Structures are given as structure tokens and as C-alpha cells.
């Protein structure tokens, strides 16, 4: 049976790429900015690339936050991708401090300029770095996932599998138990989050080849 994914259009870029990825694995995707369609959804996806503040402005202009909260309280599975994952948190610190959807407690903050690479061989396929090599911001390229606990979203994903990242800010949850997978970029940061019916991916699954498509398929087929 074909699964219907309701994808929230709030004016962010890269939404079409996420839509095509879900369609590639057989989903029927409804792209909408209508709060009533969001309220009635069976599964919600919030994708997007851009800044935290402009993302929340797009959601607010379309009167979507209340509809999202009502759907989440109803228990439907919700997946945030890239900036969509960041918007799930309480506040973002990009170009000022902005209130988020507050579905998950925590902040979205910039990678520290003076952090150093510890495992540079796993980032962008570069040679191993010394402990004095500063991080490049944005964090861009392939990096490894380190699952923290078992969850159907990551079924079939192994320790050390690669995903593709492009971001300068990372999510810092209040509760470490919300982190489903970590990724190292000078220090461990939350690359996948999960709590109850809430899920988030910091990387781009549509650019992460078989690993990314597997995770999207898990959300479509295994998350109920």
C-alpha cells in the first residue's frame, strides 16, 4: 500500500529535493502550506535549507505552528530534515535569537570557530588532521553516524555509515536521551534525534545515497 507523506511547504529551499526522494521510494507526497491539511495528515515532514529565523518566519506567516503542534499531539509521526530538524527545537541562535517550534527542548547554536578536528579522515575524505587544525564552517561533506540506541528509523543503518551534511549550526538538546545518533566534528553533536513520535535528521538524506534513502523508507514503512 502506498504511504502518503504530507510535506510542509513554508517557502524554504530544497523542499522539492526531499519530495523527489520520498517519491523515488514509492511515497505519495502531498506538498502543502495549508494548516488544515497539516492538521489532518497521517505523517508530516518538515524539510528545508536556509536560516532558522527565516524558516520560522515562513511557518508563522502561513499560520502553521499551531497546526503542527495539534498534529504532533495527535500522535502522528513527524520528521524534520536539515533546517526542519533545527526548527523543532526551542530556539535558534542564527542572526539573533529566534523562537522555534519548541517540540524538543534545546537550542540551535553555531559550531565554535576554535574547535579542532579529531577524526578528519571521516570528513570530506581528507587526510588525518593534527589536533591543531581548526574546523571548517560550514560542516560540509560526508561524515559518519554513530547510533546511540535502537529505533526503527535507523533499522539497517550501521555504526560508521556515512551521510552528507551542509550546516553551520547544530542542535544542542536539553536531554541527551533525545539523541538517536551522534556525529563527530571536533566534538559529538546530534545528527539524528528521536522522542516519541518526533524524529529529526541534520543531514540531507536525499544526498546520502543508500543510507539516506533507507532512513526515509524506514520512516515511511516502519514508523507508525
Task: List the catalytic residues.
Answer: 82, 204, 206
* 81 phi and psi angles, rounded to 5 deg: -120, 130
Provide the 3-class DSSP secondary structure of residue 101.
Answer: coil
* 35 phi and psi angles, rounded to 5 deg: -55, -35
- 67 close to 103: Cβ distance less than 8 angstroms: no
H or E element that contains 110: strand 104-110
10 Å CB burial of residue 102 (0-12, 13-18, 19+) is: middle
Amino acid at each position: 500500500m502506498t504511504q502518503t507523506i504530507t510535506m510542509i511547504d513554508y517557502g524554504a529551499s530544497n523542499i522539492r529535493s526531499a519530495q523527489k526522494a520520498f517519491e523515488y521510494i514509492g511515497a505519495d507526497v502531498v506538498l502543502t502550506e495549508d494548516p488544515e491539511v497539516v492538521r489532518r495528515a497521517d505523517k508530516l515532514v518538515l524539510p528545508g535549507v536556509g536560516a532558522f529565523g527565516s524558516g520560522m518566519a515562513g511557518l508563522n506567516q502561513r499560520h502553521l505552528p499551531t497546526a503542527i503542534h495539534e498534529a504532533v499531539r495527535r500522535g502522528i509521526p513527524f520528521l524534520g530534515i536539515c533546517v526542519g530538524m533545527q526548527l523543532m527545537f526551542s530556539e535558534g541562535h542564527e542572526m539573533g535569537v529566534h523562537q522555534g517550534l519548541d517540540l524538543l527542548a534545546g537550542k540551535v547554536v553555531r559550531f565554535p570557530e576554535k574547535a579542532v578536528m579529531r577524526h578528519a579522515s571521516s570528513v570530506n575524505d581528507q587526510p588525518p588532521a593534527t589536533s591543531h587544525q581548526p574546523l571548517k564552517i560550514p560542516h560540509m561533506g560526508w561524515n559518519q553516524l554513530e547510533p546511540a540506541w535502537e529505533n526503527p528509523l535507523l533499522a539497517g543503518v550501521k555504526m560508521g555509515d556515512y551521510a552528507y551534511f551542509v550546516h553551520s549550526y547544530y542542535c544542542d538538546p536539553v536531554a541527551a536521551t533525545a539523541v538517536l545518533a551522534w556525529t563527530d566534528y571536533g566534538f559529538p553533536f546530534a545528527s539524528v534525534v528521536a522522542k516519541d513520535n518526533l524524529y529529526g535528521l541534520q543531514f540531507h538524506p536525499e544526498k546520502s545515497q543508500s543510507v539516506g534513502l533507507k532512513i526515509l523508507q524506514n520512516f515511511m514503512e516502519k514508523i507508525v
